[in-house]
Amino acid sequence: MTTAEAEKGHVRRDREAPARLTFREALDRLAGAQKSARGVSLYSRHVNRPVGRLLAAGSYRAGLTPNQVTVISALFSFGATAGIVLAEPARWTGPVVWLALATGFAFDSADGQLARLRGGGSPAGEWLDHVVDCAKTTALHMAVLLALSLRPDAFGVRERAWLLLPLGFLFVAVVTFFGGLLTEQLKRQAAAGRPGPAAPPSLVRAVALLPVDHGVFCLVFLLFGAGPVFLWGYALLGAVAALYLPLFLVKWFRELSRG
């Protein structure tokens, strides 16, 4: 190999392996590469995304891939789900379950942010992220159903009709998840090639979406050790989610009809 060829190979390798960003540089770059805040609740905007940004920067420095971060998110989420079924309701179980769920949710935000930091995600990565999201939502409500079934006295379940609550909540959660995801994909296809200015985020909408934000839903598990109090808190959030579902469906249908 000639000296010139060696120099060309060295330049080529330098271009293929740019210098790694520091943690601070990664944070700064992530701050300028956030998704739109439109249609996002205050919790996700001001809590989950900033925490996810820290985790994404740390994951970048650790050399993790977005798919590996998605797996970490799943481990925290499914670990919390297992705790709901296996652990006896006590003062410590609620905070532990909540912390694991909240951490999993933050890593769920981090995987997409890490993908953008690394230059963009992949269809396979997006697929994995959505499948894990659907699986953890389904498993979480199934875990509540099992907890109520296995320990009815601990939660004040006197009538078996209460067991319909997590089933109904699961139905609403899955339809909402699938409807929102499909609407996003169809709107993205319709807007391909003719991008327009993004609408500014609404503070009123961000507040209104708080009751159906996954991070807010996770907070109810702080009451897991309180038995009946947890049951009523879970029922309240389920009722709100059921009320929001038809509003979401009408909104999404109208948006796609206009497109």
CATH at 217: 1.20.120.1760
Domain count across the chain: 1
Closest to 112 measured CA to CA, from 60, 161, 152: 60
pTM equals 0.87
Burial of 163 (0-12, 13-18, 19+ CB in 10 A): middle
Domain extent, residue 247, equals 23-189+202-258
1 within domain boundaries: no
Q: Enumerate residues 6+ apart whose C-beta is below 8 A from 68.
A: 59
Query: What single DSSP character describes residue 123?
Result: H
Taking the C-alpha atoms of residue 102 and residue 136, their distance in angstroms, rounded to an integer, is 13
100 within domain boundaries: yes
Mean per-residue pLDDT of the chain:
88
Taking the C-alpha atoms of residue 53 and residue 33, their distance in angstroms, rounded to an integer, is 10
Cα 189 off chain centre by? 23
195 within domain boundaries: no
Cα 163 off chain centre by? 26
pLDDT at 189: 82
16 within domain boundaries: no
228 within domain boundaries: yes
pLDDT at 16: 47
Walk along the chain (259 residues) and give the pLDDT tens digit of each residue.
Answer: 554 554 444 444 434 445 788 989 888 888 877 777 777 888 998 899 999 999 999 999 999 999 999 999 999 999 999 999 999 888 899 999 999 999 999 999 999 999 988 887 788 999 999 999 999 999 999 999 999 999 999 999 989 999 999 999 999 999 999 999 999 889 888 776 555 555 677 788 889 999 999 999 999 999 999 999 999 999 999 999 999 999 999 999 999 998 6
4 within domain boundaries: no
pLDDT at 6: 46
> Tokens 């499948």 label which residue?
131
144 within domain boundaries: yes
pLDDT at 65: 95
194 within domain boundaries: no
pLDDT at 259: 60
